Amino acid sequence: MRVDVILDPGTSPWEVRDLGLLAERYGINAVWSSNYPSSRDPFLTLAPLALASTRIRLGPLVVTAYEQHPFKTAKALATLNELCRGRANILIGGPTGVNAAMGMGVERMVGRVRESVEVVKAAGPDRPLNYKGRIFQVWNYQPTWATDAAPRIYVGANKPQMMRMAAGVADHIMVGDPLPGRFASTMAMLDGYLAEAGRTRQQVNVSGLVAWHVKEDRQRSMSEARQQLALRGMLDPWYLDEFLSADECGLVDRNRNAFFKAYKNRADAVPGVPESVLQKLVDNLTLAGTPADLDQHIGRLQALGRLGLDEVALKLHEDQADAIRLIGERVVPALQPDAAAA
């Protein structure tokens, strides 16, 4: 299983460069820049790392099919790919907080993502791209300079409609916050959709975004994990019922605003939600605790690997350099031994 890291949205381009080079030294597979409403541009943030690195892959996530025309996404991605000489990734997905920042709705999500992926994949130096979709059009685009190995295009997918579309058009797929039972059913669903598209699992890497909060100080770890819970599975009851009762799922659903307020205010208390429920959310949706808990966390990731997870993308927050060192020293050798040996 390959190991990636996703950097905090507040990370500057110079910090991205230094953290990315540290990750490269530890054999980490890829670095992802986060695309949040108030973050820096996720493509430009990666430029210093693209120029300074030699092996590690890099790319932005999530680039929505709402914030810019896929023509612009294709140009930005091809330019980043040229800077890093063919090591670029991108995760294209549906609505995020960027939609709210632009005052946009979330209509035609699957169609927008499909057409964005089709445009980005078809853009290349060999022939002009002429694309007439239901939503987007591109005429006579031919980046003759884009001669490096093609970037890898991931689609963020969890639910059936997006998964069916991704199985047909994506290079690779990223799921959010994989839980063992839910992930097993997701992979069975994906296999069926791949068969419909005439593809096999061997042609598509499956990555899982997993929140990383492991620190030397357990209290700081738990506090950080609780602050970020609003983003875990978007707190959807259909997702949480693997480990919460129906009453507990209802309680979380009724208190979503309190979770998002805690996230916005960087608070670790969620009024109206008992400590027992908060701890269940942390234990099941994140990797938290101290280095003493790492064997358990690695075992959980290995179990997901046996179910078909090819890559894990660990979402970092504070203390990113310390996190990368710990991941490089403990997680990479367990999940990606060939890279660690190199």
**Do both 199 and 132 map to the same domain?**
yes
When divided into structural domains, the chain yields a total of 2
Q: Please indicate, yes or no, if residue 307 is contained in any of the structural domains.
A: yes
* Domain that residue 296 falls in: 2-216+290-341
**Do both 178 and 265 map to the same domain?**
no
* Sequence-ordered list of residues with C-beta below 8 angstroms from that of 218, at least 6 positions apart, any chain: 289, 290
The residues facing 92 across adjacent strands are 63, 155
Position 103 scores a pLDDT of: 83
pLDDT tens sequence across 151-210: 999 999 999 999 999 999 999 999 999 998 889 999 999 999 999 999 999 999 999 999
Residue 149, pLDDT above cutoff 80: yes
pLDDT tens sequence across 84-93: 999 999 999 9
Residue 331, pLDDT above cutoff 70: yes
pTM score, two decimals? 0.95
Residue 342, pLDDT above cutoff 80: no
Q: Please indicate, yes or no, if residue 113 is contained in any of the structural domains.
A: yes
Q: Please indicate, yes or no, if residue 252 is contained in any of the structural domains.
A: yes
Residue 96, pLDDT above cutoff 80: no
**Do both 262 and 114 map to the same domain?**
no
Q: Please indicate, yes or no, if residue 222 is contained in any of the structural domains.
A: no
The residues facing 288 across adjacent strands are 213
**Do both 138 and 239 map to the same domain?**
no
**Do both 193 and 253 map to the same domain?**
no
Phi then psi for residue 152, to 5 deg, are: -95, 130
Q: Is 237 helix (H, G, I), strand (E, B) or coil?
A: helix
**Do both 69 and 13 map to the same domain?**
yes
Query: Cα separations (Å) of 303 from 12, 152, 320?
Result: 34, 25, 25
**Do both 75 and 40 map to the same domain?**
yes
End-to-end alpha carbon distance in the chain: 15
